A and B are shown apart, each in its own frame.
Chain A
Amino acid sequence: MTYRSNLERVLSDGKFAVTVEIGPPKGCDPNKIKEKAKIVNGWADAFNITDNQTAVVRMSSFASCCILKKMKMEPVMQITCRDRNRIALQSDILGAAAIGVKNILCLTGDHQSFGNHPGAKGVYDIDSVQLIHILRNMRDNGIFQSGDKILAGNPDVFIGAAANPYADPYELRVDRLEKKIAAGADFIQTQSVFNVEKFSLYMDEVCSRGLDDRVHILAGITPLKSVKMTERMRFFVPGVDVPEHIAKKMENAKDPKEEGYNIALELISEIKQIKGVHGIHITALFWEDIIPSLVKDSGLLPRL
């Protein structure tokens, strides 16, 4: 069996996968992203490169993936529908596949009003479900969205999507996931999990529909760095559910950093037990240097 990417190989082998997010710098200094990448190199199976996350202008996801490739690290290129229409999106997919990007994660994107250019015109020509579907058709059927044929090479990539187990209305959460799978998603990275109980229920439903056999789900983990960050995640980030008991723990901690780290360790060990979860996706916002020990202490890597 040949695999498209290292991430696909790890997941298909039934191993518990680890992905780590790297945010490109707010500037063109390639050393900035290289430094971040060096810290986490070897501590994940693939590395997500965000695409102007929260609508703040940063080095492009595509260029950052090129830099990572040169460092012999495997990127997951994130691509959003906010800034590009179907022409640019498909063109970037071809370009990324050409330079050897093997994983692409399709997102609708955070609305421009949240970022540092609120006056920008959002594109939103298509949405994430449609992007997943387009990518699958490009890969498997060699056709563009318009139906026109690809003439010189289909992008052979492992297709990713995001899922939020906490969003309203709860009743639709697994349906939304199923829709993304039907559209063509091979793997899913979820919103940061803090409320394990609710996530468990979600996964029960996922497994009872047999979706865990059709897609690889990586649960999101975000180590909390401070009380302020906990508050922000709790009240201002759409679709995040930080339960009271975790917020309390952070508030009462002598050393919030250490507490946040321990909470993350606990979450990982609980999530590992949940049926249908095939890996962990770590997003350590402005705290990348914590990742190697988090991955090691939680027993994720190196694999025994």
Chain B
Amino acid sequence: MIITKKKEFKDIVDVVGKGPVFIAGCSECATICHTGGEEEILEMKNALIDKKIEVTGSILLEPACHLLNDKRLFRQHKKELERANKILVLACGNGVQTVSEISKDWDVISGTDTLFLGEIKRANDFEKRCQMCGECFVDTFEGLCPVSRCPKSMLNGPCGGSKNGKCEVDSELDCIWILIYNSLKEKDELHRLNELRDCKDWSKSLKMRRTL
């Protein structure tokens, strides 16, 4: 899932200015992340009204990254949109761009910061799992991704700084290479760490478009 976090409210107010503003949330990832679901839309609406900023209306897109759905749903809110000059999007960066694509006459504002593609560990607890490198090879690393989860993306890890299983860059973060090591050790396959892993082919991540 795409993990997002709320922007500081005062930063949003700075960009929204006097409004009037229309708010768009997202029914999928941003709802689960509590950054752009029904509740957060309502919360944002009340907070802006408190600041004497006019909110002309709001919508929960299904989901925000779906171009045709966005078009259809926006048509149902034509009047409210016409009265606004800005659209605040509480969705991931993709959602913001899809809304921008169909809203040339409005200033479209990002209301969240998009962090990573990650796992829901439990409610309100998310962890990075992937940076969409274009060629997945986690099967060679015990199903654990060093590209996205080692801050130095080392393919021949661990570096010399890992301590008590934690990463030298952030003591809250598990060193992914220790996790890979533990898993191999359990299977008695530590020798596999001696294989030299070749440089990654980043040209695979260049694909900008795919059609089915």
Q: Is the CB of A175 within 8 A of B193?
A: yes
**Distance between Cα atoms of A172 and B197 in the complex (Å):** 16
Taking CB as reference atom, which chain B residue is nearest A162? B160
Contact B159–A108 (Cβ < 8 Å):
yes
How many Å lie between the Cα of A164 and that of B168 in the bound state?
14
Contact B154 A179 (CB under 8 A): no
* Closest-CB distance, A186 to chain B (whole angstroms): 17
Q: Are B168 and A111 in contact (CB under 8 A)?
A: yes
Interface majority SS (helix, strand, loop, mixed), chain B: loop
Is there contact, CB below 8 Å, between A168 and B165?
yes
B196 & A183 in contact (Cβ 8 Å cutoff): yes
Inside 8 A of B160's CB, which chain A residues have their CB? 162-164, 167, 191, 238-239
* Other-chain contact of A111, B155, B163, B169, B200 (Cβ < 8 Å): B169
Q: What is the interface size of chain B, counting residues whose CB is below 8 A from a CB of the partner?
A: 29
Query: Any chain A CB within 8 A of the CB of B140?
Result: no
- Is A130 in contact with B159, judged by CB distance below 8 angstroms? no
Judged by a CB distance under 8 angstroms, whether A125 is at the interface is: yes
Question: Whole-angstrom distance between the alpha carbons of A130 and B160 in the complex?
Answer: 16
User: In the docked arrangement, what's the CA distance between A183 and B164, Å?
Assistant: 27
Chain A residue contacts of B194, Cβ below 8 A = 175, 178-179, 182
| B152/A129 in contact, CB under 8 A | no
Residue A126 is within 8 A (CB to CB) of chain B in the complex: yes
- Per-residue CB proximity of A107-118 to B under 8 Å, as 1/0? 011010110000
Shortest Cβ distance from B170 into A: residue: A113
Q: Is the CB of A108 within 8 A of B169?
A: no
In the complex, A145 has a CB within 8 A of chain B: yes
In the complex, whether A302 has a CB less than 8 A from a CB of chain B is no
- Known contacts: A127-B152, A238-B163. The answer to whether A169 contacts B178 by CB under 8 A is yes
Contact A108–B152 (Cβ < 8 Å)? yes
Q: Cα distance A125–B164 when bound, in Å?
A: 26
B162 near A130 (CB under 8 angstroms)? no
Tell me the B residues contacting A by CB distance below 8 Å: 151-165, 168-170, 178, 181, 190, 193-194, 196-200, 202
Closest 9 interchain pairs by CB? A238-B161, A164-B160, A129-B156, A238-B168, A167-B160, A239-B160, A127-B154, A124-B153, A111-B169
Q: A residues near B, CB below 8 A?
A: 81-82, 86, 108-109, 111, 113-114, 122, 124-130, 133-134, 145, 162-164, 167-169, 171-172, 175, 178-179, 182-183, 191, 238-239
Q: Report 16 cross-chain contacts, Cβ distance below 8 Å, ordered by A residue.
A: A108-B154, A113-B170, A125-B199, A125-B200, A126-B200, A127-B154, A127-B156, A128-B156, A130-B156, A130-B199, A162-B160, A172-B193, A179-B193, A179-B194, A238-B168, A239-B163
